[in-house]
Amino acid sequence: MTTALRSSRRTQEMSPTGTGPARRKRRGSVTLTVLTAIMAVYTLVPLAWLVFSSTKTQDGLFTSFGLWFDGGEFALFTNIKDTLTYDGGIFLRWLGNTLLYVVAGAGGATFLATIAGYGLAKFDFPGRRAVFAVVLGAVAVPGTALAVPQFLMFAKLGLTDTPWAVIIPSLVTPFGLYLMWTFTTQAVPDELLEAARVDGAGEFRTFFRISVRLLAPGIVTVLLFTIVATWNNYFLPLIMLKDPDWYPLTIGLNAWNAQSHTAGGQAIFNLVITGSLLTILPLLAAFLLLQRYWQSGLAAGSVKE
């Protein structure tokens, strides 16, 4: 089947909202719903535990049932205040660092993947096949296998313990490149680019004026997934950063937890729990608000074998 044929079939079949034209409304099944609900309960129990626990004091955690409130005290707001002010407000510093890594890392990664995916889909250039082979091969290389040599190289460059050590490696997302390549292939018609060229528009002008709009759902998808990857990144900052002032939230929370488990360290389980809740809320919100985009974008990426 030719690519052109395939993409036309795809655009017909996939409407982003989840109810295709061919979908007939069927009778609901209670059994199937109950079985799926078991899965949903499994998903929700830890999150519910987190929400209930964040309303408890350090002592309340030990004396009350995990999946309900502590009868004695509703400490959510005290916990939030304590989390934000503990140790001179270091949590806010970590939040700021995370935002910096996300904006620079995920933003940069999405930009690079978008233009590169576009270049691969719409241009024929010497070395194109080699780029494919190298990048697709790299997807199979375990990311963490690169971490030790990355650390040694960055140490030689004097970049460890600086934000650059976290940002630069985050800038490359082979998966994002792959998604943008498949997405561009089906979303940007060649005829449009030809017309722009005939009108004498430069390639970059065409890209930013015309193509970017057509690529928007793909860009949002890649952006969301790179945001999750950088927001949740643990291994890379763990090896690159020693100075707590540059920690992202993930490393900071783990340091608080480790402190609580160390003999002699101040136990601050309530802050670890409340901090965890504050850490996941922005991402959950982003996914819920943007679900229309990432669901259709992922669908586009999964079609191409």
Near other proteins in 202-221, by CB under 8 A: 203-204, 207
- The C-alpha R_g of the chain, in whole angstroms, comes to 24
Contact with other proteins (CB under 8 A) among 57, 83, 274, 276: 276
Contact call for residue 43 and other proteins (CB under 8 A) = yes
For other proteins, what does the binding mask look like between residues 109 and 138, x meaning CB under 8 A? Answer: ---xx-xx-xxxxxxxxxxxx-xx-xx--x
Show contacts with other proteins in window 153-182 (CB under 8 A): 153, 168-169, 171-172, 174, 177
Of these, 8, 208, 209, 235, which contacts other proteins (CB under 8 A)?
235
Closest separation between CB of residue 78 and other proteins, Å? 18
Phi/psi zone of residue 200: left (φ > 0), alpha (ψ -120 to 50 degrees), beta? left
State which of positions 90-109 bind other proteins (CB under 8 A). none
Minimal distance, residue 216 CB to other proteins, in Å: 18
Q: Name which of residues 47 to 76 contact other proteins (CB under 8 A).
A: 47, 49-50, 53, 61-62, 65-67
Q: How many residues bind other proteins (CB under 8 A)?
A: 119
**Residue range at the interface with other proteins (CB under 8 A); choices 75-83, 85-93, 99-107, 244-252:** 244-252
C-alpha span between 273 and 28 (Å, rounded): 39
Q: How far apart are CB 116 and other proteins at their closest, in Å?
A: 4
Q: Report which residue type is found at 303.
A: V
The answer to whether the Cα torsion of 205, 211, 212, 213 is positive or negative is positive
From 20-28, 80-88, 99-107, 212-220, give the range in contact with other proteins by CB under 8 A: 20-28
What 8-state DSSP symbol labels residue 146?
G
Find, among 192, 233, 226, the residue nearest to 212 by Cα. Answer: 192
Is 264 a binding residue for other proteins by CB under 8 A? The answer is no
Stretch that binds other proteins, among 71-79, 84-92, 99-107, 249-257 (CB under 8 A): 249-257
Closest CA relative to residue 183, chosen from 286, 108, 134, 114: 114
The two tokens of residue 215 are 């690529």
Smallest distance, other proteins to C-beta of residue 122, A: 7
Q: Which of 1, 5, 32, 198 binds other proteins (CB under 8 A)?
A: 32
Helix (H) or strand (E) holding 168: helix 163-170
196 binds other proteins (CB under 8 A): no
- Alpha-carbon span 27 to 301, nearest angstrom: 31
Q: Which is nearer to other proteins, 47 or 216 (CB)?
A: 47
Dihedral of the CA atoms 293, 287, 104, 256 (nearest 10)? Answer: -170
Q: Give residue for tokens 């136990």.
A: 267
Among 5, 22, 198, 289, binds other proteins (CB under 8 A): 22
| Distance (Å, whole) CA 119 – CA 305 | 20
Stretch that binds other proteins, among 41-49, 73-81, 88-96, 212-220 (CB under 8 A): 41-49
Which one of 104, 272, 274, 293 is in contact with other proteins (CB under 8 A)?
272
Asked if 197 and 68 count as a contact pair (C-beta separation under 8 A), the reply is no
- Cα separations in angstroms, 90 against 86, 87, 109: 7, 6, 27
